[in-house]
Amino acid sequence: MADRTVTVTDNATGKKVNLPVLDGTNGPSTIDIGTLYKELGYFTYDPGYVSTASCESKITFIDGDLGLLRYRGYPIEQLAESSTFLEVCYLLLHGELPDRQTFDAFESRLKMHTLLDEKMRRFYLGFHNNSHPMAMMVATVGAMSAFYHDQIDVHDADSRESAANRLIAKVPTMAAWVYKYTVGQPFVYPDNNLDYVSNFLYMMFGLPTMDYQPSPAFVRAMDLILILHADHEQNASTSTVRLAGSSGANPYAALSAGISSLWGPAHGGANEAVINMLEDIVRSGQSVSYYIERAKDKDSKFRLMGFGHRVYKNYDPRAKIIREVCHQLLAELGENNPHQQLLDTAMELERIALEDEYFVARKLYPNVDFYSGIILRAMGIPLNMFTVIFALARTVGWISHWKEHMSDPYARIGRPRQLYTGADQRDYVHIDQR
């Protein structure tokens, strides 16, 4: 029994139950309600899981009020400043930063898996040219189950490890090929002489007809974007991966479900929606204030995209870092870069919103997606690929959470209950008598 308990009393019957309080390393304590139904016959009701901890986890910590984000205890600012995406992948997967030898071995293991099975090429050919890249990602990552189904035992740690490596290694190839297919260019095979991020950019932008050298500024900016999107505890897509995986489904199928969840504009699709919004503002010639007023109007469906967060009630620490890099990258591109107008509009939007009573009262701040799209656009990444880049980065987060769930001896299939408010029992009436 935990040292601390919370007593719930049913005022109708006077029956009481003591529920244990569990303390984590950081963050609010948690009431273990596992016995509530057995003892009092009640479910709990929490649409959107606002007050619900769905699992115990050691991977990522967020303090939304203070605007803190840590992977395995390391502040995101330190990782962004000094680490690389691949090192962060190792950290998220294994819990510790690797020494040089361990890192090299990890990188070599990933390089053994960068190629896709040649038969996978044919999947791409079945899509319309204008298919959304996220639709193709959902399908092709899910299709990996067909190739590796027999080789995975989800209850075996080594087997889970190889699935994790395979996914982290192959998703960049899949993401780049999705892009190549939509623009009608030949697929570029991975070059294992390149580091992870350069290889991805090479597969995206390389052509058989000419040499392609990714610019160091772009490699660094992409590496940083991947670090910042690598994990974010129990968000919608990660929870989807955990839930799908909890049935024992293979990780490729579970990740495909996670990619579907990420796609929506309230989640990973917001980076695409932000650029659409900024371009609309620039094109319309309307003032930024006009859009702020629309976002506040409850009769309008319009929301300020890239603003607000379920957990952060303070500036999203990732947005702070990205905003800085955005300035640096655009400065490197020169005074008259074509993306400056978008950045200026974004900054004006942020300035007005942060002084506006509506946004202040609701603690709505820019989130990670507010500035990331401007960087991606400046790197020549097309709009419909933005959420794919997010999925590429989040693959390591999803697979780390899947591994954590599968290695938890107390993990059970996820099976929420409901508050049923539909029809009570009634008798069937034949169609002729209705």
The residues annotated with a catalytic role in the active site are 309, 369
Question: Under a CB-based contact definition with an 8 Å cutoff, are residues 277 and 346 in contact?
Answer: no
Which parts of 196-235 interact with ligand CMC (CB under 6 A)? 235
Question: Under a CB-based contact definition with an 8 Å cutoff, are residues 172 and 196 in contact?
Answer: yes
**Residue 266 touches ligand CMC, criterion: CB under 6 A:** yes
> Could you tell me which residues come within 8 angstroms of residue 415 by beta carbon, excluding any fewer than 6 positions away?
none
**Residue 364 touches ligand CMC, criterion: CB under 6 A:** yes
Residues 298, 302: Cα–Cα separation, whole Å? 9
Q: Please identify the residue of the shown chain whose CB is closest to the bound ligand CMC.
A: 308
Question: Under a CB-based contact definition with an 8 Å cutoff, are residues 187 and 208 in contact?
Answer: no
**Residue 398 touches ligand CMC, criterion: CB under 6 A:** no
Pick from 303, 309, 275: nearest CA to 291: 303
Q: What does the radius of gyration of the chain's CA atoms come to, in whole angstroms?
A: 24
Q: How far is CA 146 from the centre of its chain?
A: 24
Residues 301, 306: Cα–Cα separation, whole Å? 15
Task: Choose which of 369, 371, 375, 399 interacts with ligand CMC (CB under 6 A).
Answer: 369
Query: Closer to ligand CMC at the Cβ: 19 or 281?
Result: 281
Nearest approach in angstroms of CB 238 to ligand CMC is 10
**Residue 267 touches ligand CMC, criterion: CB under 6 A:** yes
Residues 199, 189: Cα–Cα separation, whole Å? 9
Query: Closer to ligand CMC at the Cβ: 48 or 285?
Result: 48
Instruction: Give the Å distances, CA to CA, from 89 to 59, 83, 256, 297, 398.
Output: 11, 10, 19, 42, 11
- Please choose, out of 9-17, 113-121, 326-334, 360-368, the segment that lies near ligand CMC by the rule CB under 6 A: 360-368
Query: Closer to ligand CMC at the Cβ: 227 or 305?
Result: 305
**Residue 362 touches ligand CMC, criterion: CB under 6 A:** yes
Which parts of 110-149 interact with ligand CMC (CB under 6 A)? none
**Residue 306 touches ligand CMC, criterion: CB under 6 A:** yes
- Please choose, out of 131-139, 308-316, 374-382, 406-414, the segment that lies near ligand CMC by the rule CB under 6 A: 308-316
**Residue 308 touches ligand CMC, criterion: CB under 6 A:** yes
> Could you tell me which residues come within 8 angstroms of residue 223 by beta carbon, excluding any fewer than 6 positions away?
84, 85, 197
**Residue 300 touches ligand CMC, criterion: CB under 6 A:** no
**Residue 320 touches ligand CMC, criterion: CB under 6 A:** no
| C-alpha torsion angle, residues 424, 425, 427, 429 (rounded to 10) | 40
**Residue 261 touches ligand CMC, criterion: CB under 6 A:** no
**Residue 270 touches ligand CMC, criterion: CB under 6 A:** yes
Which parts of 33-52 interact with ligand CMC (CB under 6 A)? 48
Contact residues for ligand CMC, defined by CB under 6 A: 48, 235, 266-268, 270, 295, 303-310, 362, 364, 367-369
